[in-house]
Chain A
Amino acid sequence: MIRVQTEDFNQQREYDCLREQSSVGAVVTFTGLVRDMNQGEQVAGLTLEHYPGMTEKSLAQIVLQAKQRWNILACTLIHRVGELTLSEQIVFVGIATAHRKDAFAACEYIMDYLKTQAPFWKKECNSQGISYWVDARESDNSALDKWS
């Protein structure tokens, strides 16, 4: 299940959905939050812009690729857009598999591809009230090398 939304999400509810099937032996979840410091700036909040249509399409493609690589029993991917304040939840990836190794790997794979392929852009606002676009990190691109 893939969702792009402005509303917050409830981890417990997402986790409960992931573990519904009795064949599930492992659930790995990742949650990304708005951090107070980024690239040397004191962050007060951020706005997430996206490309409606392409976002959903690219997330679906990333999940499909993960499903072709690992035996995934259930997968939930949620990404929020719009204005977010400090410590708010941005992204959730939950993977249910029979065994833990597949769940750890698939979760990391989905985040690595999301960071470089899904059309989201962060505009941060610092403690002085100045807004600026966040630069992409080269380390996010090189993170893909381990999957090739």
Chain B
Amino acid sequence: MIKVLFFAQIRDQLGLSELQLPSAENNDLTTLLENLKLRDNNWLSVLSKGSLMVAVNQTMQADNVVLCSGDEVAFFPPVTGG
């Protein structure tokens, strides 16, 4: 399974902070994101934002990467700390 986390506005807009997805149907980041967008129009709109940031195993990713069971994927808006 792949652990998927959502933070800040993304979590609020989806109404969910975490879910588990089967790795067989989500074998790379692009596929996982496309599968999530298929859930409904709200998921499509929230996850289609150009500003969406993504981390795999707690490292930011700009490109597609292969995913394996046990990986942790996180979606969040641009950061605003400091």
A residues apposed to B, CB below 8 Å: 32, 48-51, 53-54, 57-58, 79, 90-91, 111, 114-123, 133-136
Q: A54-B55, A57-B58 are in contact. Are A118 and B8 (CB under 8 A)?
A: no
- A56 (CB) vs chain B CBs: closest residue: B58
Contact of A111 among B51, B58, B82 (CB under 8 A): B82
Majority secondary structure of chain A interface residues (helix, strand, loop or mixed): mixed
Q: What are 11 inter-chain pairs, A to B, with CB distance below 8 A?
A: A48-B81, A51-B7, A57-B59, A90-B81, A90-B82, A115-B82, A117-B79, A119-B7, A120-B81, A121-B80, A136-B51
Q: In this assembly, does B46 line the interface, its C-beta being within 8 Å of a C-beta of chain A?
A: no
- Beyond A115-B82, A136-B51, A136-B79: 10 further Cβ-contacts under 8 Å? A111-B82, A115-B79, A115-B80, A115-B81, A119-B55, A121-B76, A121-B79, A121-B80, A133-B12, A136-B80
With contacts A51-B58, A133-B9 taken as known, whether A91 is within 8 angstroms of B76 at the C-beta atoms is no
Instruction: Count contacts on B: residues with CB < 8 A to the other chain.
Output: 18
Contacts of A91 in B (CB 8 A): 81-82
Residues 1-44 of B, flagged 1 when their CB comes within 8 A of A and 0 if not, give 00001011100100000000000000000000000000000000
Chain B min CB distance to A88 (Å): 14
B78 within 8 A of A: yes
* B58 touching A121, Cβ below 8 Å: no
Minimal beta-carbon separation of A126 from chain B (angstroms): 16
Question: Which of B5, B74, B82 touches A114 (beta carbons < 8 Å)?
Answer: B82
